[in-house]
Structure 1
Amino acid sequence: MAHPQPREERTAAGVLLMALAVLWFTCIDSSAKWLILGGLPALQVVFTRYVGHFLIAVLVYGTRDRAAFRSNAPGKQLLRSLFLLGSTVLNFSALQFLPITVTTTIMFAGPIVVTLLAIPILGERVGLRRLVAVCVGFVGVLVVMQPWGASFHPAMFLTLGALCMASMYFIMTRLLAGVEANATQQIWSSGIASLALAPFVWQAWVWPTGNGWIAFVLIGAFGAMGHIAATTAHRWADASILAPVIYIQIFLAAAAGVMLFDTWPTVWTLGGGLIIVASGLYIWQRERAVRGKVRRPVPATR
């Protein structure tokens, strides 16, 4: 049985490593959009991303410890892996039609959806102020999507689906905390996705051309490095400290959109993004405050 590695107090290194993970995540989306626009089917791109991730996970973990292939909670691990796969399929499909800044900004509502799902699934209590923050966050999502305007695209519903799937993935990750080792989670999530997609991609396989080969070869490595870095960062620093780091992706996504695809973020995307980020930061701050009260020792009575 693979065992979780012990925590270490390396906060600064953890924050830097989480920032690096966010950069890799942006590289995943950028590579996927590049390949899909180059003519590769979205499912093939997802398959390529997970196969590369799986090979690296096996090389890093499986060759050193065969126990990493065995799960302590196979049912939950399978469900977690399928949620991650579903999120990736929907997100990559949306990238065929939407700028990276739009998909990234909508996905920033993840902490908001997780807050709502944690009530019935994890039994967590959420106060009125956090519920108000959730509502404000959804207003930000509507500002980005603009369902009332001409710039609305139906593919935004794919991103909303990806958001819900990703949120369930994080819920399952919470349920597996302290139960499953990082090595097992990396191997299972990437391996199950590869096996699930393999029967569907070979019939319409398309090889990349030109610079597409660079993205084709690296997308799996970006996935593996991003998830390994994020998991290690959470071992080095508290999740409450790392949570806001994800929001730097809006700047990375904007830079990737301009440099690679000549698409600039709109005022609506930036404005809605600021609303979502502000709501997410408030929820993060409230969770830290609540946890601080729970952990604060009660003074002894005399």
Structure 2
Amino acid sequence: MSAQNTKLGIWLMVATTFVFAMQDGISRHLAGEYNVLMVVMIRYWFFAAFVMAVAARKAGGLRAAAATSQPGVQIFRGILLAVEVCVMVLGFVLLGLVESHAVFTSYPLLIAALSGPILGEKVGWRRWTAIGVGFIGVIIILQPGFRVFQVEALVPLAAALMFALYGLMTRYAARKDSAATSFFYTGTVGCVVMTSVGIWFWEPMTAPDWAWMALLCVTGALGHWLLIKTYDVAEASAVQPFAYLQLVFAATLGITAFGETLELNVAIGAALVVSAGIFTLLRTRAKEKA
């Protein structure tokens, strides 16, 4: 991989994390005003249309994208991500962007910890140490012994666990299916699931909030398009550490737009989680090159 492509990949990943952080901010606003299930449902309508448009342009079209020998795995992935999105958006409303993202950032460590039992991958002592350090960081963020423990604090942790499982299931699916097929099922299954649930919670929206909803849909599609482009031009292991910038962008948005505060324990805990996550990524990359 040339240095120029890796550099472009890094900039695309930075742009991706910025767009996704903006999407999270809009989700926080809309879910604070309307039912979470309805907000996520409308977001999925646009996402499914985007996914199908991407699939239709590729060789073989929709039929090729939908072809899979493991429909159960693909459907489960789609359902899991849809539920995770709902849980995470609920976390934004209950805890805010700063604390939710600080806890959610632990998901790469959960992927590393679960890759052994689920995918049969070997996790060495260095990565187990990093995982342990990362979870000390999560405990520092949540402060279970220093205040009345908020049950709400478990919401982004549950989202992180679901997203980690989604990531592992995606890796499992990749053994037989292309990325295009997995992407197709992510959007279409999520759309069907969210419509079957969210349609019962429909509420009329104001004109300004429809504008925010349109922007939410555009940022969702743009974010996924940028992510696809990122992995087209650079190795995943080279750009993945920059995905942590989403925490920085989301925290900045939470503080400036929503009046949230960055507590010292959250800053220290997040620093530990991010450091442990980057170390884990570097160890994975080193093992792949060995």
**Given the two structures, how large is their TM-score scaled by the length of structure 2?**
0.91
Equivalences for 1:162-177 in 2 at 5 Å? 162-177=159-174
Q: Report sequence identity in percent.
A: 26
Match of 2:85 in 1: 88
Distance (Å, rounded) in 2 between the aligned partners of 1:128 and 1:183: 35
Matches within 5 A, 1:88-237: 88-150=85-147, 152-177=149-174, 179-237=176-234
Tell me the CA shift for residue 187 of structure 1: 2.5
Using the alignment, how far apart are the partners of 2:231 and 2:218 within structure 1?
A: 20
Alpha-carbon distance between aligned partners in 2 of 1:227 and 1:92, rounded to the nearest angstrom: 18
State the alpha-carbon separation in 1 of the partners of residues 152 and 258 from structure 2. Answer: 18
> For 2:7 and 2:173, how far apart are their aligned partners in 1?
26
1:266 and 1:19 map into 2 onto residues whose CA distance is 25
Q: Distance in 2 between matches of 1:35 and 1:99?
A: 13
* Higher mean C-alpha displacement, 255-264 vs 114-123: 255-264
Residues 87 and 165, structure 1, Cα contact 8 Å, conserved in 2: yes
Give the match for residue 11 of structure 2: 16
1:273 Cα deviation from its structure 2 partner: 0.5
**TM-aligned CA deviation for residue 218 of structure 1:** 2.1
Whether the 8 Å contact between 1:90 and 1:158 is mirrored in structure 2 is yes
- Secondary structure at the aligned position of 1:170 is classed as helix
Gaps of 5+ in 2: none
Give deviations 1:103-146, integer Å, cap 9, x for gaps: 11111111110011101111111111211111110000011111
Match of 1:243 among 234, 237, 240: 240
Say whether 1:26 aligns with 2:21: yes
Q: Give the Cα separation in 2 of the matches to 1:208 and 1:141.
A: 37
Match of 1:37 among 32, 37, 47: 32
> C-alpha displacement at 1:151, in angstroms?
6.9
Could you say what the CA RMSD is over the residues aligned between the two structures, in angstroms?
Answer: 2.0
In structure 2, the partner of 1:69 is 66
* 8 Å Cα contact 1:48-1:219 kept in structure 2: no
Query: Which residue identity is paired with 2:50?
Result: I
Counterpart residue type for residue 259 of structure 2: D
1:14-36 CA-to-partner distances (Å, cap 9, x unmatched) read 11111121112212211111001
Contact 1:94 / 1:103 at 8 angstroms: preserved in 2? yes
Name the residue aligned to 1:57: 51
The question of whether the paired residues in 1 share the 8 Å contact of 2:170 and 2:182 is answered with: no
Q: Is the 8 A contact 1:57 1:183 kept in 2?
A: no
TM-score computed with the length of structure 1 as normaliser: 0.88
Shift of 1:207: 2.7
2:255 matches 1:261: no
**Which digits, 9 at most, give the CA deviation of each residue in 1:175-194, with x for residues without a partner?**
23363333333331121111
Separation in 1 of the partners of 2:179 and 2:218?
Answer: 17
Q: Deviations over 1:184-235 (max 9, x none)?
A: 3333112111111223222331132253222211222222222232233123
Distance 2:141 2:247 in 1: 13
| 1:80–1:173 Cα contact (<8 Å) kept | yes
Residue correspondences, number: 285
In 2: Cα distance, 1:153 partner to 1:269 partner: 14
SS state of the match for residue 94, structure 2? coil
For 1:5, the equivalent position in structure 2 comes to none
Q: Does the 8 Å contact 2:101/2:251 carry over to 1? A: no
**How far apart in 1 are the matches of 2:14 and 2:235?**
14
Partner SS for 2:111: helix
Question: Distance in 1 between the 2:53 and 2:132 partners?
Answer: 44
- Residue identity opposite 1:48 in structure 2: I
Deviations 1:45-70 (Å, cap 9, x if unpaired)?
A: 11122111111222233255232233
Alpha-carbon distance in 2 for matches of 1:201, 1:170: 24
Question: CA 1:63 to 1:232, structure 2 compared with 1: closer, same or farther past 3 Å?
Answer: closer
